[in-house]
């Protein structure tokens, strides 16, 4: 058995590495209204100001110049309570190939179950 068999025990360590690791955060169509309402802006403003269109027709959150998520402000996510499914599901339903190298929560599980 490996730590992967125990992902249901994962506890986020709030290391923010998943938020600062460059990559794409995909936004599902049904998430646009929830996030824009949370930000108190129109859906059009949200899409035009905070999203990029890649791999047509997929929306992603924009990244800051350093590769971190545009929604990250200091140690807090501006949209934490309405964050996209991709963020909510990391790393229990999906993870990057190198997640164990940067995710403190996965590292803690690995230490216990190696």
How high is the pLDDT of residue 1?
73
Domain span at residue 81?
A: 3-113
How high is the pLDDT of residue 68?
96
Alpha carbons 30 and 84: distance in angstroms, whole number = 10
Q: Residues 59-112: pLDDT tens digits?
A: 999 999 999 999 999 999 999 999 999 999 999 998 888 999 999 999 999 898
The pTM for the full model equals: 0.86
Number of domains, the chain = 1
Q: What residue has token string 């929604």?
A: 71
């Amino acid at each position: 058995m490996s730590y992967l068999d125990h992902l249901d025990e994962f506890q986020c360590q709030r290391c923010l590495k998943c938020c600062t690791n460059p990559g794409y955060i995909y936004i599902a169509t049904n998430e646009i209204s929830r996030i824009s309402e949370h930000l108190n802006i129109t859906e059009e403003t949200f899409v035009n100001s905070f999203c990029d269109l890649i791999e047509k027709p997929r929306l992603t959150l924009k990244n800051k110049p350093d590769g971190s998520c545009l929604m990250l402000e200091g140690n807090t996510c501006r949209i934490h309570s309405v964050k996209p499914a991709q963020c909510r599901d990391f790393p229990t339903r999906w993870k990057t190939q190198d997640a164990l190298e940067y995710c403190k929560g996965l590292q803690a599980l690995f230490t216990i179950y190696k």
